[in-house]
């Protein structure tokens, strides 16, 4: 064999060859295949174990898998930041009035007498606007009422858009003092929350890891974050990035911006570009390429968007390679969203365009719009699994990959796709109800050809010990 032939063969040796007699896939062409070769985290070959022998070199790892192997599960409707920051804030009752908000803040402080701050999330934008001080007023009646129930404890009320905030007097004094020390000419919402919110990175890291363990033990290899609050998502991604530096990322994470109201279009594009750029060197494990837009046809709603603005924004987002999801709050907004994104889906076939709504649109209504390749899902019950067997496997892999916009990398066992797998003791196709399917526990979970979870050796305690050892200095580094 000549030098060129030897080099060519060596360069094509697989890093790993997984051998499993039960590969679960809807692709009938793979029937009879029992070997998957992986190079650089990507599936390079699928065939029989005998055929894969040519790809096994001196450094190739051959791994025998006993069970049923399918593509890794994907959750496109997650909010991991909520689990990671659980206990650091509380959610206000939907539609809470100013009086109700004050009552809930008082109840929270009574239940947490040692609280150093209070963060309440989900205030309606109309309520927040009415809480702003008028010209000549030192403070609004809403702020005064908050002061009465909170005393010297800083309180931050965060609007449902995750951006606007209202501070009580104690919090405002704290923020102004800090801004003065730093010589800042203006105060941003993020700066205010950074000042008021004392982040316990050790606690956040432990909760993040506990949630990752729960997902990995069920065979999940990827999730799309749908944060209720952009500030909390930023904290989550900063901790997740530190985990990446320590080799502790256990699922692919696809970040998403949430937009609840009409914002300046250049500002939206800038924020998307900034966060995508920040993820470019993170090995495809932490990504940012999605936006979720809330839409209402009610002109009095904070989520009402002008049609021209919505079309222009979605077109620019698609042109820059972003996946767009619209949460349609009513019938007319659902029809409009499907029509706008349907037209874009024809021009940008590699991107994901989806609409979440709870409307039973008639055939005549659909005939008036261009639905294209828009994926539709439930707004009130996103991600609810209603199938079982192979249909459920496809829903949790291929279909959910399309919701994320990552169908070119994950969601299928095929050459050129990421080597993300879930191994089960029993055949997931035999789970004859959605509940039985959800109860499946993985024997092993693999991302990019690397085992991130092995039921035989992993446990919550083992993961906690690994986290403690690797991230002992996370608070100082962040």
Q: What is the mean pLDDT of residues 373-402?
A: 91
Q: What is the CATH number of the domain that holds 283?
A: 3.40.50
**pLDDT for residue 241:** 87
pLDDT of 193-216, one tens digit each? 888 887 777 888 888 888 999 999
**pLDDT for residue 283:** 86
Residue 306 belongs to what domain range? 260-381
**pLDDT for residue 8:** 40
Number of domains observed in the structure of the chain: 3
Instruction: Compute the mean pLDDT over every residue in the chain, rounded to the nearest whole number.
Output: 89
**pLDDT for residue 432:** 86
Segment holding 264, helix H or strand E? none
Q: What is the CATH number of the domain that holds 51?
A: 2.30.40.10
Question: What is the side-by-side strand order in the sheet with 323-328?
Answer: 73-78, 220-225, 252-259, 286-295, 323-328, 353-356, 375-377
What is the rounded distance in angstroms from the CA atom of residue 332 to the CA atom of residue 330? 6
Is the confidence at residue 4, as pLDDT, over 50? no
**pLDDT for residue 134:** 60
* Pair (39, 117) in one structural domain: no
pLDDT band of 138, cuts 50, 70, 90: low
* Pair (333, 475) in one structural domain: no
How much of the chain, in percent, has pLDDT values that exceed 90?
Answer: 59
Residues in the chain: 478
Is the confidence at residue 181, as pLDDT, over 70? yes
> Does residue 82 lie within any of the structural domains?
no
- Name residue 158's beta-bridge partners: 121, 165
* Pair (298, 442) in one structural domain: no
Q: What is the mean pLDDT of residues 37-53?
A: 95
Highest mean predicted confidence (pLDDT) among 3-17, 137-151, 298-312: 298-312
**pLDDT for residue 139:** 76
**pLDDT for residue 132:** 66
* Pair (248, 267) in one structural domain: no
> Does residue 265 lie within any of the structural domains?
yes
DSSP per position, 28-64: GGGTT--EEEEETTEEEEEE-HHHHGGG--TTPEEEE
Is the confidence at residue 430, as pLDDT, over 80? yes
**pLDDT for residue 207:** 87
> Does residue 84 lie within any of the structural domains?
no
* Pair (369, 328) in one structural domain: yes
For the chain, the farthest-separated pair of C-alpha atoms sits apart, in whole angstroms, at 89
pLDDT of 270-322, one tens digit each? 999 999 999 988 889 999 999 999 999 999 888 899 999 999 999 999 999 99
> Does residue 426 lie within any of the structural domains?
yes
> Does residue 78 lie within any of the structural domains?
no
**pLDDT for residue 474:** 47
* Pair (177, 236) in one structural domain: no
Is the confidence at residue 29, as pLDDT, over 80? yes
Cβ neighbours of residue 143 under 8 Å, at least 6 residues apart?
131, 133, 166, 167, 168, 169
* Pair (164, 250) in one structural domain: no
**pLDDT for residue 160:** 80
Is the confidence at residue 45, as pLDDT, over 60? yes
**CB contact at 8 A, 396 and 410:** no
**CB contact at 8 A, 421 and 20:** no
Is the confidence at residue 9, as pLDDT, over 50? no
Q: What is the CATH number of the domain that holds 188?
A: 3.10.310
Collect contacts of 2-7 with beta carbons under 8 A, ≥24 apart: none
DSSP per position, 344-389: HHHH-TTS-EEEE------HHHHHTS--TT-EEE-SSSTT-----H
> Does residue 81 lie within any of the structural domains?
no
**CB contact at 8 A, 226 and 292:** yes
- Choose the final residue of a domain: 196, 219, 241: 196
Higher pLDDT, 5 or 81: 81
Is the confidence at residue 173, as pLDDT, over 70? yes
Is the confidence at residue 6, as pLDDT, over 80? no
pLDDT of 213-232, one tens digit each? 999 999 999 999 888 777 78
How much of the chain, in percent, has pLDDT values that exceed 70?
Answer: 94
> Does residue 179 lie within any of the structural domains?
yes
* Pair (438, 293) in one structural domain: no
Q: What is the mean pLDDT of residues 434-445?
A: 93
* Pair (249, 264) in one structural domain: no
Global pTM reads 0.88
* Pair (98, 178) in one structural domain: yes
* Pair (464, 400) in one structural domain: yes
pLDDT of 245-258, one tens digit each? 888 889 999 999 98
- Choose the final residue of a domain: 381, 407, 428: 381
pLDDT of 460-478, one tens digit each? 888 888 777 765 654 455 4
**pLDDT for residue 5:** 37
* Pair (360, 285) in one structural domain: yes
- Choose the final residue of a domain: 363, 381, 399: 381
> Does residue 434 lie within any of the structural domains?
yes
């Amino acid at each position: 064999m000549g030098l060129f032939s030897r080099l060519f063969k060596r360069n094509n040796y697989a890093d790993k060859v997984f051998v499993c007699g039960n590969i679960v896939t809807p692709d009938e062409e793979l029937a009879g295949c029992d070997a998957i070769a992986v190079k650089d985290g990507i599936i390079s070959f699928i065939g029989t174990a005998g055929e894969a022998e040519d790809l096994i070199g001196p450094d190739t790892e051959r791994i025998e898998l006993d069970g049923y192997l399918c593509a890794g599960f994907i959750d496109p409707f997650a909010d991991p930041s909520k689990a990671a920051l659980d206990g650091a804030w509380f959610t206000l009752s939907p539609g809470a009035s100013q009086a109700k908000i004050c009552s809930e803040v008082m109840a929270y402080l009574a239940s947490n007498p040692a609280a150093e701050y209070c963060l309440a999330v989900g205030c309606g934008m109309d309520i927040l606007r009415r809480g702003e001080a008028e010209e000549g007023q030192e403070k609004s009646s809403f702020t005064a009422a908050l002061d009465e129930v909170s005393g010297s404890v800083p309180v931050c009320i965060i609007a449902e858009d995750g951006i606007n905030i209202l501070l009580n007097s104690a919090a405002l004094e704290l923020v102004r003092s800090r801004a003065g020390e730093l010589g800042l000419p203006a105060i941003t919402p993020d700066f205010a929350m950074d000042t008021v919110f004392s982040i316990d990175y050790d606690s956040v890291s432990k909760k993040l890891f506990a949630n990752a363990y729960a997902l990995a033990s069920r065979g999940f290899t990827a999730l799309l974050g749908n944060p209720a609050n952009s500030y909390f998502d930023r904290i989550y991604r900063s901790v997740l990035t530190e985990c990446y530096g320590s080799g502790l990322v256990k699922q692919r994470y696809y970040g998403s911006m949430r937009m609840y109201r009409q914002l300046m279009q250049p500002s939206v594009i800038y924020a998307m570009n900034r966060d995508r750029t920040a993820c470019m060197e993170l090995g495809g494990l932490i990504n940012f390429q999605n936006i979720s837009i809330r839409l209402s046809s009610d002109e009095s709603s904070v989520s009402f968007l002008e049609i021209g603005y919505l079309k222009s924004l979605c077109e620019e987002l698609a042109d820059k390679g972003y996946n767009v999801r619209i949460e349609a709050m009513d019938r007319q907004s659902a029809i409009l969203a499907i029509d706008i994104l349907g037209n874009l889906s024809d021009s940008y076939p590699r991107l994901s365009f989806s609409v979440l709504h709870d409307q039973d649109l008639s055939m005549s209504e659909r005939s008036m719009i261009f639905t294209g390749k828009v994926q539709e899902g439930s707004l009130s019950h996103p991600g609810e699994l209603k199938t079982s067997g192979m249909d459920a496997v496809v829903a949790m892999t291929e279909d959910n990959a399309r919701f994320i916009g990552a169908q070119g990398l994950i969601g299928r066992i095929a050459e050129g796709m990421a080597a993300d797998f879930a191994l089960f003791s029993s055949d997931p196709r035999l789970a004859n109800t959605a509940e039985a399917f959800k109860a499946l526990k993985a024997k092993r979970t693999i991302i990019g050809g690397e085992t991130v979870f092995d039921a035989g050796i992993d446990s919550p305690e083992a993961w906690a010990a690994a986290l403690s050892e690797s991230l002992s200095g996370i608070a100082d580094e962040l």
